[in-house]
Amino acid sequence: MNSEAVGVVIRARNEAEWLGSCLQAVSLQDYPSVEIILVDNGSTDGTRDVAARYGCRIVDYGDQPFNYSRAINIGIGATDAPLIAILSGHCVPANEHWLARLAENLRDPVCVAVYGRQEPLPDSSPYDKRDLWTTFGVERRVQRRDFYFNNANSMIRRDVWEAVPFNEKIHGLEDQDWAKKVLRAGNRIVYEPRASVFHHHGIYQDLNEERANRHVRIIELIRQDLT
């Protein structure tokens, strides 16, 4: 396996509306070695047909109750690539340099993960526009303690994942839980704004209070031993 090969893991459930644009952009990356793995959670809207058109490797999530961490772990386990990009099925990489711009940060041995910018589209809701614009700025950052990390547009090292897989005991925010653990080991995470994607639905799902409460509970747990 090429030491810079990338496996792109996409979690999906009924993503047919955006998945084609997403895969079109991934398939046109100027990166030399890319495998796309779609982890499908029972889609019924043609998602699997779209993925098949772009030559994706389709992996079934299975019958267990859905868990974000488990879906990513299944996807990563299905590839041998040393670099793993994790992308939402309704995110569209902005241009052909997206993967290369993520990967170049991982040449630094202490950098174990990188996440990119997410931007709204013209018809994204005002809530999504506000949240994406205020969360994802234009300056690159090297994070040593800040555990913010977002798996809608990220890349991690496979060897680090093998030591620290995503936590299947939590439901959501698996990215920040994982980031906290790998930072505590002395690693760094980079925010790379040039690796940009367009995320139509945003990151906070409008005003879903139940989801917000669940996320608050998880963040409170992650913050418990923050020094």
Pick between residue 28 and residue 163 the one whose CB is nearest to another protein: 28
C-beta of residue 48 within 8 angstroms of C-beta of residue 40: yes
Supply 181's token pair: 């653990």
Cβ at position 25, least distance to another protein in Å: 4
Considering beta carbons, is residue 25 or 74 the nearer one to another protein? 25
In 3D, which of 200, 201, 156 has the Cα closest to residue 174?
Answer: 156
Quickly tell me which residue has 């690539």 as its tokens: 81
- Rounded CA gap, 15 and 69, in Å? 18
Shortest spacing between CB 95 and another protein, in angstroms: 5
For the bound state, the minimum distance from the C-beta of residue 145 to another protein, rounded and expressed in Å, comes to: 8
The residues with which 60 forms a beta bridge, in sequence order, are 40
Alpha helices in 43-202 (DSSP H): 47-53, 68-77, 98-103, 126-135, 158-163, 174-184
Min CB(10)–another protein separation in Å: 14
Nearer to another protein, 140 or 211 (CB): 140
Min CB(188)–another protein separation in Å: 9
- Nearest Cα neighbor of 126 from 210, 17, 202, 193 is 202
**Quick one: 95 or 205, whose CB is closer to another protein?**
95
Q: Which helix (H) or strand (E) holds 210?
A: helix 209-223
Residue 104 vs 168, nearer CB to another protein: 104
Residues within the interface to another protein (CB under 8 A): 4, 16, 20-21, 23-25, 28, 30-32, 46, 50, 53, 92-97, 99-101, 103-104, 108, 119, 121-123, 138-146, 193-194, 196, 198
